[in-house]
Amino acid sequence: MNPQVWRDRYRLMVLMRRFEEACLTGVASKEIHGELHTAFGQEAIAVALAEHVRDDDALTSTHRNHLHAIAKRIPLHPLMAEIFEKETGLCGGFGGHMHLFDRERRFSTTGIVGASLPVALGHAYASRLRGDDAVAVAVIGDGSVNTGGFHESMNLASVLGVGLVVIIENNEWAISVPFSAASSTPTLAERAGGYALSGERVDGLDVEATSAAIGRAFAHARAGRPAIVEAMCYRFRGHYEGDLDLYRDAAEKAERTATQDPLVITRQRLDGVLDGAELDELERSATAEINELVAAVRRESQPDRGIARNHVFVSGLVAQQGVFS
């Protein structure tokens, strides 16, 4: 065990948890609008992803995207400011939590289920046209795999032989629909065979195993072979903040949330291996970093309403047609 690797893993995992807890306070205070989707319980997958994704790789995500943005090293301040709808946000506060976009870092998200896959495929194809070995990663949920976009993208990625990594976070639920009631195959990894690709299922609570599986997928993709990783996890909270979550058995949810927390599992694994006081200090510093961040973001302004249409219409076209003159 490399202690520094594990220190970094654990701190990043705690940082991700604290980041989303800070977002919850923004929902409660009504600073954040719309349906906020959190990924409590899915942190180990994002930490594992961070260990392999390069700055020049592309990453597309979904409505449940905060941890993927952190994994892609989107700076935390503009990220949180966007979620809190501030003018200092990644998209000037216009996108909000479901529409994060960073062209320079090749990162985008969409609330349309299944729609991020073709975008990732386009990035993978672009990399081939450029002649470099940057790959494209699409992180999707288990609900995305039954869309036409998934099938078309996997098929074409295989035909073209481009560097696409698909990470499916199988948290067992697509809103109120259980995975067991929605999939024709017992696992999603095995669907890779239908596209003549490799796929593997991994315990997404185990950061080491997940990092190894994602590493293998990246190695395939850098060599021009797409790959699927299905990371098993459990959605801790309702589909979005405000979802009453009445379709799940409350006792089972409480039991699984208590026993399948990647932070607890990782900390237990490190107890006795790394110094406990040092782990406490990592937790404290991650918490302090997020507390300072959210306090700073809260002091910032919302975008000027007068420029709300700036990103809606092509200004030349508007001028030409005199739509809003």
Ligand X SMILES: Cc1ncc(C[n+]2csc(CCOP(=O)(O)OP(=O)(O)O)c2C)c(N)n1
Residues that bind ligand X (CB under 6 A): 63-64, 111-114, 141-144, 171, 173-175, 235, 239
Specify the 3-state DSSP secondary structure of 168: strand
The nearest distance, CB 150 to ligand X, in angstroms, is 10
CB of 145 to ligand X, least distance (A): 8
How many whole angstroms separate alpha carbon 251 and alpha carbon 235? 14
Compare residues 78 and 262 and give the one whose CB is closer to ligand X: 262
Instruction: State which residue, 6 or 19, has the beta carbon closest to ligand X.
Output: 19
**Dmax of the chain from CA atoms?**
70
Residues forming a β-bridge with 137: 59, 165
In sequence order, the β-bridge partners of residue 168 are 140, 230
Packing angle of the helix pair 207-222, 43-50 (nearest 10 deg)? 40
* Of 104, 103, 105, 98, the residue nearest 71 (C-alpha): 105
Least distance from C-beta 189 to ligand X, angstroms? Answer: 15
Nearest-CB residue to ligand X? 141
Q: In this complex, which beta carbon is closest to ligand X, that of residue 12 or of residue 168?
A: 168
Closest approach, Cβ 297 to ligand X, in A, equals: 24
CB nearer to ligand X: pick between 64 and 267: 64
Q: In terms of CB distance, is 144 or 266 closer to ligand X?
A: 144
Residue 83, helix vs strand vs coil: helix
Question: β-strands 198-203, 227-232: how paired?
Answer: parallel
Q: From the CB of 37, what's the least distance to ligand X, in Å?
A: 6
